[in-house]
Copies of this chain bind each other. A is one copy, B any other.
Amino acid sequence: MEKNTKPLILVTNDDGYFAPGLHALIEMVKPYGEVLVVAPEQGMSGMSHAITIKNPLRITLLSKEIGVTIYKLNGTPVDCVKMAINQIADRKPDILVSGINHGSNSSINVVYSGTMGGAIEGCLNGIPSIGFSLCSHSMTADFTLTKKYSEGILKKILEYGLPSGTCLNVNFPVVEEADFRGIKVCRQARGVWKEEYEKRIDPHGGAYYWLTGDFNSNENGSTDTDEWALDNNFATIVPIKVDYTDHDNVKTLQNLSIEIQ
């Protein structure tokens, strides 16, 4: 009985079940409820909101101790969330946390991020959902500060919930605590990755390409964006909507006489 009165906390990520960021997150959330982890078997960075349709999924129980159960799945973060909700959990999760991602999901990265894909899927299913990221790709990154301040955010959301159809994209700068300036609620900065594929030739003479690229900001010094805040040693919270409609431009398009009837 005691088990079911504690919040059920669903945890996923996109770096895989072995990633240090995932285990930092598990450790952070453990005191707040019953923890169910369903994480990808392989790295799923850049998998966005992808789902596995044409391949069968397999779940493997990795460990089960008091308060924390960990599964891996041969799918994407969104598959993990769907499978957790529909096949594994015995009740609806009270909150979903995704991450801690190894690398930034600020600005337009939200569109590509598997970590945020998992969070958005939770939100779609009516679960208050938060994606956490640290702006470092290092597998030995220090998550101490991120864990500490993420915990504050978790407590607020457990207490107040989130507006329906909205989840949170939370990013932390790589910074010493003495230089950390706090947490800001912001908007997503406008920007785009400019790709420069690196072309190579294989030993058999065939060409292949590796994705590389640079982030290009489309902002002119605005101070209300996540990019600005991260550059200035703040952590950032961007509320993300699952309604992608550009409501402001519905009328503009109607005025184009593109409608016929």
Interfacial residues, chain A to chain B (CB-CB below 8 A): 43, 45-54, 56-59, 78-79, 82-83, 85-87, 108, 110-112, 117, 120, 124-126, 149, 152-153, 156, 160, 163, 165-166, 168, 181-188, 190, 192, 194-197, 199-200, 206-211, 234, 237-247, 249-250, 252-254, 256-261
A166 contacts across to B, CB distance below 8 A? 246, 249
> Given A185-B258, A209-B59, A239 and B243 touching (CB < 8 A)?
no
A120 contacts across to B, CB distance below 8 A? 111
| A58 CB to nearest chain B CB (Å) | 5
Residue of B nearest to A253 (CB): B185
Give me 29 A-to-B residue pairs in the complex whose CB atoms sit less than 8 angstroms apart, sorted by A's number.
A48-B78, A48-B117, A49-B111, A56-B200, A57-B208, A58-B208, A83-B197, A83-B209, A86-B196, A111-B244, A125-B192, A152-B260, A156-B256, A160-B256, A163-B252, A165-B190, A165-B246, A183-B258, A184-B259, A185-B254, A187-B250, A188-B245, A190-B243, A234-B261, A237-B259, A239-B250, A240-B244, A240-B245, A244-B244
Cα separation A257 to B254 with both chains bound (whole Å): 40
Cα separation A130 to B56 with both chains bound (whole Å): 32
Partner of A250 from the list B57, B186, B194, B247 (CB cut-off 8 Å) is B186
Copies of this chain, complex-wide, total 2
| A234 CB to nearest chain B CB (Å) | 7
A192→B124 contact, CB < 8 A:
yes
| A185 CB to nearest chain B CB (Å) | 5
Max chain B C-beta neighbours (<10 A), residue from A78, A160, A243: A243
> Given A197-B87, A244-B241, A246-B239, A211 and B47 touching (CB < 8 A)?
no
A258 contacts across to B, CB distance below 8 A? 152-153, 156, 183, 185, 237
> Given A210-B56, A237-B253, A112 and B185 touching (CB < 8 A)?
no
A244 contacts across to B, CB distance below 8 A? 110-111, 188, 240-241, 244
A50 contacts across to B, CB distance below 8 A? 46-48, 50, 112
Cα separation A256 to B166 with both chains bound (whole Å): 15
